[in-house]
Amino acid sequence: MTQANGMVRIAVDAMGGDHAPTEVVAGAIEAAKQGDVQIGLVGDPQILQAELAKYDTSRLPIMPVPSDGVIGEGEQPALALRQKPKASIVVATGLVKKGMADGAVTMGSTGAAMATAAVVLGMMEGIERPALGGPVIGFAPRTAILDLGTNVDCRPSQLLSFAVIGEMWARTFWDVESPRVGLLSVGAEFGKGNRQVRETSELFAKSGLNFVGNVEPNELARGDIDVVIADGFVGNVVMKLTEGIGQAAIDVVRERLAGALPETEIESLTQELFEKSNVVSTHGGGPLLGVKGVSVIGHGRGKREEVKRAIEQAKNWHRVGFVSKLGEALKEVRSRAGVEE
């Protein structure tokens, strides 16, 4: 992909996701129409040709990039990487590694995307495994939660790395000078929680971060904390529980208000509830944090609008230079906390 007119170059895995390739191609075309991004559409050449033939792309900055194979949800990522070195997600990520793309986007397997990014792009110094994170609850749009499911059974040192990533997120995107960092636990008192939480709390306290202590789940929607750190198992439960409660609330609203309000008002209300409780889906996905490059993982069920939003995310992450800003912050905090590399 040759850069033109300062546009951001994004490699899109056209074969990943529940609605690939049709919806992925459609979303990529919508993103290309914005005029500030070039799209490298990675996938099976014949399939891409058939999908692109449905549109007039003659004036759009979009080009097909051939690949061979797809790594699916049911496959073991590490093994699949060895067996399918030309799979769409591998080729898309490889374009970033080679400097031919500024970021990669996939709506496919989270495990495959994480493994590919870690192996192909490499991990930033001081980070052992990548993390997924960001705002989860629409009532608290400026509270980032990490990790959202890529890592379970984390060590305290790993959670410290996630805290630094989250702090840099708040500084970069929300212009917060000293982000408040909390640790998700079953009680607000110091010493509450399992061994992992207690040891992590002690580490955070001497890290130099603006650590405000434990945060209980019922406080998340208030938006008082800028960054909330949790083991990926817990973070994923929080995210999916929020989505489930949101859907239950939508069902109740539709049932109770049917016939009492115009349908347009009911739809407006339920859409607002959906956006408040399905933030990850609303934004199209989230960035994989801690790797040496921009990699955005979209919601597997996402359609063209979510694909477009995921591409916009990748574009924005590249433009703010987040990856380059994070390295020095990681070194400083880990050194202060006494964590060995």
- Sequence length of the chain is 341
| Domain assignment of residue 118, yes or no | yes
Domain harbouring 116, CATH code: 3.40.718.10
Mark whether 194 and 237 lie in a shared domain. Answer: yes
Q: Are strands 131-135 and 144-146 parallel, antiparallel or unpaired?
A: antiparallel
Contact 311, 28 (CB under 8 A): yes
Same domain, 102 and 182: no
Let me know if residue 304 belongs to a domain. yes
Of 251, 280, 309, the one marking the end of a domain is 280
145 with 263, same domain: the answer is yes
Do 105 and 38 fall into the same domain? yes
Per residue in 82-138, pLDDT (tens digit) is: 999 999 999 999 999 999 999 999 999 988 999 999 999 999 887 888 899 888 888
DSSP character string of 168-194: HHHHHHH--SS--EEEE-S-SSTT-S-
213 inside domain: yes
State how far the Cα of 61 lies from the Cα of 83, in Å rounded to an integer: 32
Pair 158, 185 in one domain: yes
The answer on 273 and 177 residing in a single domain is: yes
CA angle 224–229–232, rounded 5-degree value: 135
pLDDT for position 337: 67
Does residue 340 form part of some domain?
no
pLDDT reported for residue 340? 63
Position 302 scores a pLDDT of 87
Do 36 and 72 belong together in one domain?
yes
Tell whether 211 and 229 lie within a shared domain. yes
Q: Tell me: do 102 and 172 sit in the same domain.
A: no
- Segments in the chain below pLDDT 50: none
∠ CA 123-98-171, nearest 5°, is 45
Domain residue limits at 184: 133-280
Asked if 84 and 144 sit in the same domain, the reply is no
Which pLDDT does position 16 carry in this prediction?
95
The reply to whether 237 falls in a domain is: yes
Same domain, 154 and 276: yes
Q: What is the pLDDT of residue 3?
A: 67
Whether residues 44 and 151 fall in one domain: no
Q: Which residues contact 11 (CB under 8 A, 6 or more apart)?
A: 1, 40, 42, 65, 91, 92, 93, 95, 96, 100, 101, 103, 104, 105
Residue 117 belongs to a domain: yes
- Both tokens assigned to 208: 């130099």
- Report the pLDDT value the prediction gives residue 4, as an integer from 0 to 100: 66
- How many domains are there within the chain? 2
For residue 11, give the nearest of 327, 22, 24 by alpha carbon. Answer: 24
- Whether 191 maps to a domain, the answer reads yes
